[in-house]
Structure 1
């Protein structure tokens, strides 16, 4: 698949995801509606929608009707956005910019941002258990996918990854500790997004194993590229200040192994992701193209 075709496909999928998110989280007028505005502020801030797109492409690659699963995909984006809001808080990474504009706690206030994150996390599971999905997907598959995503978002994934990341600030850590942080904080939800797409599509165990290797490898590559962009990227394209990781003493691949070795590691991981898709044939072509695109992304 050529890059132009991939970008057109990504654009179409983003529009579908955004339309469904609008339906799931419309503006409201009531005493507590400020938190809805804050949730929408962060949710519609122009994100890449990588996790829901990976979910939909994996479902298609496994032979499933991705259109029927759009609500689950939206839940993944709600989970991801909640984590960004909380990561940006003064008690965490204390960031002022996200996706080119003030972070949620800067645009509103800290208490509202905390509640907005809480609201998006709850909305994610509202999406995962939506009547629309329960009518289309066998209960056993749906429960398995929700369990997988819950583990990736909690104490087996993002939560412990964020804790380890905070504890690593300002000190020299080992490569094993850095891999732990990346695997849990970033790669876990990306992997779960890919595998849950296969699960809901009814994929066989061998296909799920291929998708798991792809998702885990791509998730790590994505974070390494993110680390690289913080050193070499363009602030306008990134939507946040360049060099913020170094200023905060964050643990990153470039800081630990250097730019050249970090780029090589990202390339190796993408190659591993591509190899994992070999048994899936042509239906997995968009997943292949997306992996290559992640390696060359600018934001």
Structure 2
């Protein structure tokens, strides 16, 4: 069996020990499938209005009820999942990629590179995440692309710090010194030996910060800085239902539950990845 196959089997076995992580994985995959197949599953169009069906409570015809414009909340929640999950996954991917590269370079080269990169990251971290994102979106304008850019920008310094710390430890190991003695280039050492050994910690945080990115996007939409209406987003749906919270509470409750399920599933996945990838936890579980 190859090394990759062995590692994959070991990861699957370790991940399986945490049953709740599988619940989170199944739940998140289900949400993704609902978002992907929203045009097929949704019984109505997400922006179709019906004045005669304004603010109807949940029923068999409208599972999540309708809003103030008579739009089907279930259909809008399905299409809103597309926006929220896309923002969460894409922004974390770019934030992880850019931030990890900066963190690895800072940790590997040290000296002035480390000082320049990490002091810049410290400046970015000194501002609250939500405030930084709001400023960026306000300057660029509310749109899906600008929301992704704003959240990516707030995640870069976090991933940089996460990647730098293990890089400092890994670069001092004997096999890295052996690579240098054999004449390996810095690029080869970083790509083939540094990054694979720090990737586990980065991936665990990526799963957790994806949940955070979804909540940040919902916050932007609630403040009117997200995707422009009438495009449905979970945060925008909560904002629209906020003024009707006593007359039609389902308008805010159901999109709020969607955010809750997405965040819960990602946190359960993060816990499972941590248990599977952290060697200290694996050793403790093997001793039990």
TM over 0.5: no
Structure of larger gyration radius: 2
